[in-house]
Amino acid sequence: MAVVRRIGVLSLAKITGVLYALLGLIIGACFSLISMIGTAFAPKEAGMGGMGIMFGVGAIIVLPIFYGLIGFISSLIGAAIYNGLAGWLGGVELELQ
């Protein structure tokens, strides 16, 4: 039985930040696709012009950064809390083969 007594706070935060940024890129691409399809089928009198396209491009840039930062900060805090509780309660037991 192995016990996880400590987690590398920055190590976890970097990995989680990158994973969340990739998730943000996928979600941003979906927003972009929906936005461009909506712009293509919108009536010309709606007056939106290039706003839909700008929103789509913005989603691909902003969402990965936002998700990456949220993932980094939340896992940084979570790992620090885990380390404090694991020192007090003994950590998580894992059974490895």
CA distances from 6 to 31, 85, 88 (A): 38, 10, 11
Residue 32 has pLDDT above 80, yes or no: yes
pLDDT score of 22 more than 90: yes
Q: Which of 5-9, 12-16, 41-45 has the lowest mean pLDDT?
A: 41-45
What six digits make up the tokens of 47? 């007056």
Higher pLDDT, 81 or 38: 81
What are the tens digits of pLDDT across the range 42-87?
Answer: 776 656 666 666 777 788 899 999 999 999 999 999 999 999 999 8
Instruction: Map out the domains of the chain as residue ranges.
Output: 2-41+50-94
Distance in angstroms (rounded) separating the CA atoms of residues 74 and 67: 10
Output the pTM of the full model. Answer: 0.80
Q: What is the residue whose two structure tokens read 């980094």?
A: 72
Average pLDDT, the chain: 88
| pLDDT value of residue 47 | 61
